[in-house]
Amino acid sequence: MRATVVVITCALLGLAAPARSSTYHGFAEDVTHLGDAPTLLALGLALGLSGSEYDGQTSVIYTEALVTSGAVTYALKRLTRKERPDPERYSGYAFPSAHAAGSFAAATVLARRYPKHRSVYYAVAGLVAASRVELSAHDWVDVVAGAALGIFAGKRATVTERGIVIGRITW
C-alpha cells in the first residue's frame, strides 16, 4: 500500500511540474516525460526501496516488464524503420512507441499488483501515449502498438510472483 502512495505521488509530482503553456500541447510536453525510461526506472527503484517484501517483488517484476517491452520495442523499430511524423524534431524510428510501451508495461504491472488504483495507472499511461501523438513524435498506430506491447509485457511479467527471468536469478 505504501508503494502505491509513492508511485501515485511521483506521478502527480510529474504532472504538477510547471506547465510550459496553458494549452493542451504544453500539457503534452510536460506529461510525455512520465514515459521517459529514467522516470519509469526511478518509479521502479522507489518501489524496491519501500521496504516491504511485496513491493520489492513488484519492483523486480516491474523492471522485467520494462526491460522486455524496451527490448522488443527496440527490435521492432530496427525491423520496421518507420519514419516519425516530424523527423525534423525527433530522431530515431517511430514504430512502436517506446513511451507508450514502457508506460503501459508499468501500468499493467502496477494494476495487477495494486488493483485498487488501476484506473490511475492506466490514465497516466494513456496521457503519455496521447502526448506522443500531440507532439508529432508518433501517430496513433505507433502508440496503440506500443500500448499493446506494454500490456503484453506487463501481463507476461506478472504471470508468477517473481517474474519470468530476473526474479529467477539467485542474488
Q: Could you give the CA distance from residue 87 to residue 57 in angstroms, rounded to a whole number?
A: 40
Mean pLDDT, all residues of the chain: 78
Banded model confidence at residue 14, pLDDT cuts 50, 70, 90 = low
Residue 115: cis peptide before it, omega within 30 degrees of 0: no
No. of H helices and E strands in the chain? 7, 0
Q: Could you give the CA distance from residue 128 to residue 146 in angstroms, rounded to a whole number?
A: 11
DSSP summary character for residue 85:
S
Q: Which three cell numbers stand for residue 75?
A: 527490435
Q: Which residues touch 145 (CB under 8 Å, ≥6 apart)?
A: 76, 95, 96, 97, 100
pLDDT digits (tens, 9 = 90+) for 61-73: 888 899 899 999 9
Q: Which residue has the higher pLDDT, 148 or 165?
A: 148
- What's the Cα-to-Cα distance from 30 to each of 17, 22, 36, 93, 165, rounded to whole Å? 7, 11, 11, 22, 33
pLDDT digits (tens, 9 = 90+) for 80-137: 888 877 777 777 878 888 889 999 999 999 999 888 988 989 998 998 888 888 777 7
Q: Which three cell numbers stand for residue 42?
A: 526511478
Task: State the pLDDT at residue 171.
Answer: 42
Task: State the pLDDT at residue 150.
Answer: 93
- What's the Cα-to-Cα distance from 114 to each of 70, 84, 102, 110, rounded to whole Å? 23, 35, 18, 5
The lowest-confidence range among 39-48, 114-123, 149-158, 159-168 is 159-168
Mean pLDDT for the stretch of residues 158-162: 68
pLDDT digits (tens, 9 = 90+) for 40-56: 888 888 888 877 888 88
Are the C-beta atoms of 57 and 161 separated by less than 8 Å? Answer: yes
Q: Could you give the CA distance from residue 123 to residue 16 in angstroms, rounded to a whole number?
A: 15
Please, what are the domains in the chain?
A: 2-168 (1.20.144.10)
- The model's pTM: 0.79
Q: Residue 46: name the closest of 34, 56, 54, 36 by CA.
A: 56
Banded model confidence at residue 13, pLDDT cuts 50, 70, 90 = very low
